Amino acid sequence: MTVKEKKDIGRILKERLDISENTQIEIAKSIGITKGYMSKFLSGKEIAFWMVIQAVQYISPDKEKELMKDYCKSGIDKKYIFCALEYCYNQKMFGVMRYLIVEYSAVAPEPCLLYKWILNYRGNFDMQNISKLRMNNFKTKEAKSLLLILETYGYYNLGKFDMAHFYINKADSCMNNMKDPFLRKSFSARIDEVLANVYLKQENNVGLARLAATSLLENKVSESHEITANHLLALSYFLTSYEKSLTYYNRFLNLMEKHPERVDEIVQNKEEIAILQYYWKTDIDSRYNVSEFTRNLKEHNKLSDYYSDERLKPYAYLFDGVKEARADKILLSLHYFSEKREYFRANIPKLELQKLELDYKL
């Protein structure tokens, strides 16, 4: 992409701005930059990457990915490569990331090395792979902070939640010295994602989980974070508010259904809604009656066929145990949830045991 094409981004935005009711001053004020910076960008001059993101999102949100893809490949200054790679990762623009890594590895080695590793190991952030990164003597606060966040993921995936908290605190401290507002916000969202999961599922702290999930929603860093936040908020209200839980589940599904390639996850989460409706003694809606398990729930059939199903057996034992007033089956449900360290979900069988006048303390 040429420099002339980079100027075209400003021209496109200026054309949009000219037919809107907003002025450059109003938009600059709204996104937190000066009118001078806005004028520079619209006339084709380079400004900070975070300012470009804000301007594009405000003036032309429907063209954001297209414009930012072109902008990232237009020959941006090397000092913005960390931001560009983080933005592209959030937006799942993996092809653009690969392009930037090839083009900038020599002049911006730290971000290129880290994001090349992330591309290679995404979905598999384990400590064995992360240990390879520790051998690099990273100099910048941005690189050091991201490495600490990756180590947080690694310990979380191992179930070592105390260590995850320890590395979150180290990352927070390191991020205090980072100047770029977009990177601080994006890295904070990564931390909030881990915290929301730990607080809810493992530490059974609903209040802190909701705070972290709400922070994820408010940051609006990526759709992936929005999906995670809505799912965790839905789960957090499972026991206390059918309406709120269902609302967040449906927001979650509306986002997920934009990604038909994730059909297995969509089906599983429709099953979760069916489980919610069954628990609250509400008729299972046809939209969520998507599997043999949900059909058995809807027809109030015995669920013993699922006692060996790794994912569904905690619910199978739970609902059969409630129906049969069998404390032993409810205890098995509690055991299987706890075995997976799903301590929030373990509250469901614990409450049912209390109804049977068995106050079981985990």
| Total count of domains within the chain | 3
Q: Which domain holds residue 347?
A: 302-362
- In this predicted structure, what is the pLDDT of residue 128? 81
For the record, the structure tokens of 158 come out as 């191992």
Q: What's residue 182's pLDDT? A: 95
Q: At what angle do helices 109-121 and 94-104 cross, to 10 degrees?
A: 140
Rounded CA separation 38/194 (Å): 35
CATH, residue 48? 1.10.260
The reported pLDDT for the residue numbered 46 is 81
Residue 179 is assigned to a structural domain of this protein? no
Q: 3-state secondary structure string, the chain?
A: CCHHHHHHHHHHHHHHHHCCCCCHHHHHHHHCCCHHHHHHHHCCCCCCHHHHHHHHHHHCHHHHHHHHHHHHCCCCCHHHHHHHHHHHHHCCCHHHHHHHHHHHCCCCHHHHHHHHHHHHHCCCCCHHHHHHHHCCCCCCHHHHHHHHHHHHHHHHHHCCHHHHHHHHHHHHHHHCCCCCHHHHHHHHHHHHHHHHHHHHHHCCCHHHHHHHHHHHHHHCCCHHHHHHHHHHHHHHCCCCCHHHHHHHHHHHHHHHCCCHHHHHHHHHHHHHHHHHHHHCCCCCCHHHCCCHHHHHHHCCCCCHHHCCCCCCHHHHHHHHHHHHCCHHHHHHHHHHHHHCCCCCCCHHHHHHHHHCCCCCCC
**Token pair 């060996």 in the structure block, residue:** 308
In a domain, 344, yes or no: yes
203 within some domain: no
Please tell me the predicted confidence (pLDDT) of residue 273: 97
268 and 330 share one domain: no
**Residue 102 maps to a domain:** no
Structural domain contains residue 211: no
d(CA 115, CA 29): 33
Does 283 share its domain with 326? no
pLDDT at 359: 57
Are residues 47 and 71 both part of a single domain? yes
Whether 154 is covered by a domain: the verdict is: no
pTM, to two decimals? 0.88
User: Quick one: pLDDT at residue 27?
Assistant: 80
Sign of CA dihedral 112, 116, 119, 124: negative
Q: pLDDT averaged over consecutive 10-residue blocks of the chain (362 residues)?
A: 53 80 80 82 84 89 91 92 97 96 97 95 82 88 95 91 92 91 95 94 94 94 94 97 98 92 92 98 96 97 97 98 96 95 95 79 48
